[in-house]
Structure 1
Amino acid sequence: MTVALYPYPKVSSELGHVETYKDFAPTHKIPTKTRELEIKSLVEKITSNPSFNPNLKFDASKHIVFDPSYYKSTKTFTLDELKINKTHVPRVTDFGAAFPFPLLSSEAVDMVLYEALQPEIIEDYARLPNLAKGATRLDFHIGGHADDHAPFTDALIKSPEIAEIVSNFFGTPMSVIYNSERAHLNVSLATKDEEEIAKYPSSKEEIMQALNNQDAGDGDEIPSTLGLHYDSTTVALVVMLDLPEEAVGGQTTIITGDEKVVRVPEPKKGYATMIQGRVLKHLASKPVTNHNRISFVNGFAVRGPEQLDNTALTSTKPSVLPRARYDLFYRDWVDYKFTHLEEHLKYIREQVNKDFRDGKGFDQEGFVKKCLNIEEYFKKCYDEMECVNNPPYPSPHFKTKYQDY
């Protein structure tokens, strides 16, 4: 197969892309006003707790508060129950979404926030959104910092306890994916600027009207830090780090198979939700009131050498999501995809040898099918990269109705 890599397609803001993505989008840095006013205030609030320890070590027995009884008590939906019968890529399991369930302690939440909001992390790993509805200086992404700069966060999300919870809900073994797609924070902060505060609805009637106006549409008009999309990872585990009880809005919003807008109930601090984001269209809405909404998003994909993952680049590559650092992101991507491919190739080779030893013979048709899957997987390692395939964003299939697939 010959791949025409040149001429390199033009990356243009007209395509919804960040033109300076190789230089880590300097035009999308977090404004000084936001750093000095809202972020600084939030860090001071965390550190003012007398029991706060900036050197806290992760302890699953203390910091994961999930109880096995939650598997039964948590409301979940299959894709069929969400009326999603057709999908743009094959479903992995029938799991669709889970309503909020307790996952992290308050101490753990504060530590994840503290590590992510350090000045050097905001400078080197945080950026304003490229494509978002109603975004302001107060809305931004943080990601890619966990491996080298957030030891508590890194240990937490890599813990076998978290993977087991995700796997049990989803119905098949799952593991957290590469560094650039774990420990991702979607941040929408409450303003402390008096002029900006005055622009928010104040009465109960105004607030509910604003919320109803959002829900009446098809999802495109709902303010968010990332507009209506499919995830590039199989499953998203979303943990709420900050969303005051008095806030209105701010839930994960999903589009059902009949193209209706459904909001997952507001999660409390430390509560998590899950969705099969690769096949379920959704967005993370902003509150209609002046309150923080900070979520901790972690991608998961199938574990084990028996099958290949279905992760993609569509909504995460650096020219689309500014907080993805070009060199770091693609290093992480190649390491993850090739490691999984290597393990899968070894598994197939060993199975062929085992079948021979066991007298089962060689299944030529089955082997060819596996090779075709591998060919498609390998192609997916590169065919969404900017120098190969650089179409306008958002992708047209984000607006395609389920029934049209």
Structure 2
Amino acid sequence: MATMEKNPAFELVIDRMPDKPLSTDDFDPQKHIDFVPPSKSHSMSDLKLPEGTGVSPFAVSEPFQLFTEEAVARMRAEIFSKEVMENCRYSSNLAHCQLRGFAAKYAPFVYDVWKHPEILAIVSKIAGVELVTEMDFEIAHINISVKSEKQKAEELEASVDKQMTEDDEGIAGCPWEDDKPVVDWHTDSYPFVCVTMLSDCQGMIGGETALRTGDGGILKVRGPEKGHAVVLQGRYIEHQALRALGTTERITMVTSFRPRSHTVKDDTVLTTVRPISNLSELYYQFSEYRLEILEERIREQLKTLRETQKTGRKMKTKDLKAFLREQEVFLAHMNKEMVDDEHVTKGSIDNSHLVSDCGKTKRQRVQ
């Protein structure tokens, strides 16, 4: 686990937990889900990405309501528990404060939320492909950005002053080079994510997600409100969580998903997660599900071979060899992603996960 210095503002967030005791009931979709479908979804072609990019035509949804107030309160209570804070905090050059790998061990309510068939059905329908959670370690990754009331006021004042200066000088709308995003430009390691807002966004300025389009442009998706979510095919789209002003906290929960079917390609990489993970847990879970995919593929191929032999048909050697080549590539990719522990630098994520030269060379920030 990466260590972090204590942040007084961060401790204030924990202090703001509800005074009255929360229910300890199990997750109940009738009680804790308040789903309203997104008003719109953007396709990969809308983002001008090459045809065939990704595993679904879907790119990103507009924010949609997903959870009740009580569900959010329950999730926050588990996230800020002593066990999670002491054992699951990480930081990197992409994001200063993250909580990872805690759900299965320390957060039963959060874990049950993302494993529930109704939640899986909602996310799958929006994404346009049947999904399952990527692996237990990647359930409810938390990104945290916190400020004191003084910092919030100073940032708002600086924002107004800067905007007035830019208006006067005719340069309004230019990106700030000193405007650090919550999470810098990146593509996700996993095919899909569902990003849920756990903070009160009243008075928040900014906080959008910026997506880089195929022609080098930028599409901004409005940040979700508390209890709302956004689904994104983030493995194939460079994106960045923009800084939010006017609030003392911005806490998002990111759960990763992959296609359920073993016949759909799995482009999962571990580039952005190796440096901020317990490698033993990460590699075990990655290996387990990948080998299960391989097992299903081999069983299916073996069934085909036996049926061919049983019915007296000719062996399709070319088809079998093509299948074997595909599995060789599958295994080689899997082997490549599991970098030896001694070669992984904790907290250091390089640019290899970025797809555009623009992102790699400049790490450009968007206002």
The normalised TM-score by structure 2 is: 0.85
Seq. identity, %: 24
CA offset digits 1:166-217 (Å, max 9, x no partner): 211222211111122221011111324x4x4464132773476799999744
Which residue type is aligned with residue 151 of structure 1? P
Which residue type is aligned with residue 209 of structure 2? T
What's 1:82 paired with? 47
3-state SS of 1:386 partner? coil
Which residue type is aligned with residue 287 of structure 2? V
Which residue type is aligned with residue 382 of structure 1? N
1:144 to 92, 101, 106: 101
> Structure 1 residue 327: deviation in Å?
2.0
The answer as to 2:187 corresponding to 1:230 is yes
CA distance in 2 between partners of 1:210 and 1:181 (Å):
43
Q: 5 Å matches for 1:268-307?
A: 268-307=225-264
3-state SS of 1:201 partner? helix
Which residue type is aligned with residue 31 of structure 1? E
> Structure 1 residue 121: deviation in Å?
1.0
3-state SS of 1:263 partner? strand
CA distance in 2 between partners of 1:264 and 1:288 (Å):
16
2:63 to 100, 104, 113: 100
Which residue type is aligned with residue 26 of structure 2? K
CA distance in 2 between partners of 1:187 and 1:211 (Å):
30
3-state SS of 1:254 partner? strand
The 8 Å contact of residues 238 and 354 in structure 2, kept in 1 or not, is answered as no
The 8 Å contact of residues 133 and 256 in structure 2, kept in 1 or not, is answered as yes
Q: 5 Å matches for 1:103-252?
A: 103-132=66-95, 139-192=96-149, 194=150, 196-197=151-152, 199-202=154-157, 205-206=160-161, 216-217=174-175, 223-252=180-209
> Structure 1 residue 80: deviation in Å?
0.5
Which residue type is aligned with residue 197 of structure 2? M
> Structure 1 residue 310: deviation in Å?
1.6
The 8 Å contact of residues 243 and 269 in structure 1, kept in 2 or not, is answered as yes
The 8 Å contact of residues 55 and 264 in structure 2, kept in 1 or not, is answered as no
Which residue type is aligned with residue 130 of structure 1? N
The 8 Å contact of residues 251 and 285 in structure 1, kept in 2 or not, is answered as yes
> Structure 1 residue 368: deviation in Å?
2.5
Higher alpha-carbon deviation: 93-102 or 257-266:
257-266
CA distance in 1 between partners of 2:163 and 2:313 (Å):
66
CA distance in 2 between partners of 1:95 and 1:177 (Å):
18
What's 1:135 paired with? none
What's 1:341 paired with? 294
Classify 1:204/1:130 alpha carbon distance in 2 versus 1 (closer, same or farther; 3 Å): closer
Classify 1:351/1:83 alpha carbon distance in 2 versus 1 (closer, same or farther; 3 Å): same
What's 1:52 paired with? 22
3-state SS of 2:187 partner? coil
Q: Give structure 1 stretches of 5+ with no counterpart.
A: 1-23, 133-138
3-state SS of 1:228 partner? strand
CA offset digits 1:274-311 (Å, max 9, x no partner): 11111111022221344311111011111023334221
The answer as to 2:27 corresponding to 1:64 is no
The answer as to 2:9 corresponding to 1:38 is yes
> Structure 1 residue 58: deviation in Å?
0.7
CA distance in 2 between partners of 1:102 and 1:359 (Å):
56
CA offset digits 1:340-361 (Å, max 9, x no partner): 2222222322233345556765
The answer as to 2:333 corresponding to 1:376 is no
Which residue type is aligned with residue 42 of structure 2? F
> Structure 1 residue 159: deviation in Å?
0.9
The 8 Å contact of residues 63 and 108 in structure 1, kept in 2 or not, is answered as yes
1:331 to 272, 284, 293: 284
3-state SS of 1:202 partner? helix
3-state SS of 2:336 partner? coil
Which residue type is aligned with residue 71 of structure 2? A
CA distance in 2 between partners of 1:42 and 1:360 (Å):
68
Classify 1:81/1:362 alpha carbon distance in 2 versus 1 (closer, same or farther; 3 Å): farther
3-state SS of 2:292 partner? helix
Which residue type is aligned with residue 47 of structure 1? P
What's 1:7 paired with? none
The normalised TM-score by structure 1 is: 0.78
> Structure 1 residue 51: deviation in Å?
6.0
CA offset digits 1:325-372 (Å, max 9, x no partner): 222222222222222222222232223334555676543333322222
The 8 Å contact of residues 76 and 98 in structure 1, kept in 2 or not, is answered as yes
Higher alpha-carbon deviation: 290-299 or 140-149:
290-299
Q: 5 Å matches for 1:377-392?
A: 377-387=330-340
CA distance in 1 between partners of 2:213 and 2:287 (Å):
33
